[in-house]
Amino acid sequence: MKFAALLGTVGFAALLMTSTIATTAPAEAQRYEDCRERIHHAERHLDRMIERFGRHSDAAREARHDLERTREWCDRNRHRDRDRDYDRGDRRGGWRH
C-alpha cells in the first residue's frame, strides 16, 4: 500500500514537471521566433528604403536606426531572460545567495 502511494506521488510530481517544461519551452521558442521575425521585417524595410530613396537618405538612416533598436531590444530581452533564469537558480552551482 505504501509503495502504491509513493508511486502515485512520484507520478504526480513527474506530471507536474513535464507540464511545466512543456509550457515553458514553447513560450521561449515563440519569443525567439518573434524576435527573428521583427529583425527580418526591419531588415526588409531598410532594403526597401535604400532602394527607394538611396543609401544615405533620411528614410534609410531612420530605417537603419529602427533595425538597430530592434536588434538591441531582442538582445536585451534574451539577456534578461537568461539573467532571470540565473537568479532563479536554473544554472549549475546552485542558488545565488
| Integer Cα distance of 38 and 32 in angstroms | 10
**Structural domain boundaries of the chain?**
26-82
% of the chain with per-residue pLDDT over 90: 42
What type of residue is 14? A
Tell me the pLDDT band of 29, cut-offs 50, 70 and 90: confident
Task: Answer whether 69's CB lies under 8 Å from 77's CB.
Answer: no
pLDDT of 2 strictly over 50: yes
| Integer Cα distance of 17 and 11 in angstroms | 10
State mean pLDDT over 40-50.
97
State mean pLDDT over 70-75.
93
Of the two residues 82 and 96, the one the predictor is more confident about is: 82
Of the two residues 75 and 27, the one the predictor is more confident about is: 75
Tell me the pLDDT band of 97, cut-offs 50, 70 and 90: very low
pTM for this structure? 0.56
Q: Where are the alpha helices (DSSP H) in 1-97?
A: 2-53, 58-88
Q: Quick one: 63 exposed, middle or buried, by C-beta within 10 A (0-12, 13-18, 19+)?
A: buried
